[in-house]
Amino acid sequence: MPSWHWRSRHTLILERPPDAVFTMIGELVVAELPTAVRHGQRRPQVRVLDNYLRQGFRLFTEERPVGYLLGRIGRFWNRYERHVAPETARNDPAWFARFAEPGFAKAALGITCLPVDGGAATLLVAETRIVATDAHTREEFNRHWLVGSLANPHAQQELLRAVHHRLAA
């Protein structure tokens, strides 16, 4: 998404080549995320990427060793309609880009592995961009973004910490 209303971006440099980091991200399970560890959640070994898909994200790109691009349309601020999305949105990035029906927000999540130091290391970037489809929705989501940021300020940072922890183990 070239333009957005809200954005969260976190980075980490890892002393592993991009292909190794890409593979590790694909294998990462929810139980390895710091919040899950702190709360003693030992759910079945659900991959983080599969968990995103369960939340309504669609996998638009999985390009080794570059990374992943996921997208989701919904009413994330509404607990009862959080996963509501038009059925036609499924797995069609061009449709996702054009979607403008009022009352929704579009979220794009990119997990990118950029080579540094001649490919011996990786700059791992986890970025979420969100755009509201109309002014009223933007106002509604603003409150959600503020409260969500206070409650869980860095969801992507959790992913980066889990990758870092796995490398250190």
User: Domain-by-domain residue ranges, the chain?
Assistant: 6-168
pLDDT number for residue 48? 92
pLDDT number for residue 141? 86
Residue 23 has pLDDT above 50, yes or no: yes
pLDDT number for residue 12? 94
The pTM of this model reads 0.85
Predicted confidence band at 151 (pLDDT cuts at 50, 70, 90)?
Answer: very low
Distance between CA atoms of 169 and 123, rounded to whole angstroms?
A: 19
For residue 156, what are its two tokens?
């992507």
- CATH placement of domain 6-168: 3.30.530
